[in-house]
């Protein structure tokens, strides 16, 4: 079997933004909305990088280059479906309804960033690699047992497929026929480890064969292809078709996190080659060539995005600080006695420290 033939890359727009497939499931209005969202999210991501460099937020994991996959996936879901993402999946979460300032709040270490507002059906971002894939299976299985028509989607990177959690999750989902969709954002790099050193398989999608589930490959930089593919997958899974593994082939334009320097392990030629077909540039070329949006309209969207992001920066900076003792909250439904005593002790020390500071004032 030739995996590249067995799992062909689904594509609607090529790297130059030319239409090479069917886009009948996506209207012009949807494309305008997609462009607006990709622009807002790219602006947010770049602003967050600068804020970290200024010391105004902590470590930040950029998602530039992966917006089309995340937005395309989130757009294909129903409001009741579960979304389980990693620390790099804020684009999907913001599109889903999480406030624009939450990614900044998260990098500031504020616990409120994990408390998504109702009715957003999503778990807090997962830092432990691949753990959210297991959580998605649990949510999907629970929905099946309860007879609910909802599904669960897990977003993860190519590095996560080297973890045991990935294989355990796919095996359990297959055995239980859980309504789960596993979306691997194959951005070619697990920090500094290239894909070819992570595995000898030609594709990630072919790993679905081992678990007797469906596997697909889609161009993750093509938002039309991602959205249309996910719409079809979601409908099949919701109808009882069993779990599906989707490999979205994309590229991480920036560093792994703000603590990383990709120039130490990635060739400039590779970076430049992938930048040409990145999601926002690709969609922009198509919309201009098709006269769906004009340069002036795009500029207006870009200005709107800047304003929204600056407001998000203000919102994050002015968000009420969390008391130190809140570190014990949201871990257990009922705090165990030993932790409760520690929480009370910390609260006491904080109060004494404040009184001491006031007396010296």
Alpha carbon distance 251, 64 (integer Å): 9
Element (H, E) at 214: strand 214-219
Q: Supply 340's token pair.
A: 């409760």
Residue with tokens 């500094």: 192
Q: Which of 42, 88, 150, 252 is catalytic?
A: 252
DSSP H helical ranges for 177-246: 195-198, 223-238
> CA 288 to CA 285: how far, in whole Å?
5
Helix (H) or strand (E) holding 164: helix 164-176
First to last CA, the chain: 76
Residue with tokens 């006491």: 348
Q: Is 101 a catalytic residue?
A: no
Per the residue annotation, which of 53, 196, 197, 265 is the catalytic one?
265
Does the annotation mark 265 as catalytic?
Answer: yes
* Choice among 150, 207, 217, 256 that is catalytic: 256
Residue 10: Cβ within 10 Å count: 19
Closest CA to 125 of 188, 61, 64: 61
Torsion angle defined by CA atoms of residues 44, 49, 53 and 59, in that order, rounded to the nearest 10 degrees = 110
- Tokens at residue 52, please? 């970290």
Catalytic residue flag (residue 252):
yes
The token duo for 335 is 């705090």
Handedness of CA 265, 268, 269, 273 (dihedral sign): positive
Distances (CA, A) of 160 to 49, 132, 188, 204, 314: 24, 10, 12, 11, 34
Point out the residues that are catalytic. Answer: 252, 256, 265
């Amino acid at each position: 079997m030739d995996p590249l033939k067995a799992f062909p890359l689904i594509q609607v727009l090529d790297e130059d933004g030319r239409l090479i497939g069917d886009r009948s499931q996506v209207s012009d209005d949807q494309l305008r909305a997609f462009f607006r969202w990709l622009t807002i999210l790219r602006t947010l991501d770049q602003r967050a990088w600068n804020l970290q460099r200024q010391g105004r937020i902590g470590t930040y994991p950029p998602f530039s280059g992966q917006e089309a996959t995340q937005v395309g996936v989130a757009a294909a879901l129903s409001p009741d479906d579960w979304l389980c993402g990693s620390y790099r999946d804020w684009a999907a979460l913001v599109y889903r309804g999480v406030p624009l300032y939450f990614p900044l709040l998260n990098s500031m270490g504020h616990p409120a960033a994990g408390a998504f507002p109702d009715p957003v059906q999503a778990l807090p971002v997962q830092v432990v690699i691949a753990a959210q894939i297991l959580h998605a299976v649990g949510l999907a299985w629970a929905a099946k047992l309860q007879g609910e028509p909802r599904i669960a989607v897990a977003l993860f990177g190519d590095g996560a497929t080297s973890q045991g959690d990935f294989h355990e999750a796919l095996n359990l989902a297959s055995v239980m026929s859980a309504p789960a969709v596993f979306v691997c954002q194959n951005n070619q790099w697990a920090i500094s480890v290239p894909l070819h050193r992570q595995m000898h398989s030609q594709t990630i999608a072919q790993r679905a064969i081992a678990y007797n589930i469906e596997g697909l490959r889609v161009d993750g930089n093509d938002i039309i292809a991602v959205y249309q593919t996910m719409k079809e997958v979601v409908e099949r899974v919701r109808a009882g078709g069993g779990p599906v593994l989707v490999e979205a082939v994309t590229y991480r334009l920036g560093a792994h996190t703000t603590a990383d320097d990709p120039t130490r392990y990635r060739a400039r030629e590779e970076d430049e080659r992938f930048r040409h077909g990145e999601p926002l540039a690709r969609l922009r070329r198509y919309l201009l060539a098709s006269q769906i949006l004009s340069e002036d309209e795009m500029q207006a969207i870009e200005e709107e995005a800047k304003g929204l992001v600056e407001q998000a920066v203000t919102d994050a900076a002015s968000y009420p600080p969390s008391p130190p003792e809140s570190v014990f909250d949201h871990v257990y439904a009922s705090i165990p006695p030993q932790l409760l005593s520690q929480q009370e002790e910390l609260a006491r020390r904080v109060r004494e420290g404040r009184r001491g500071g006031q007396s010296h004032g």
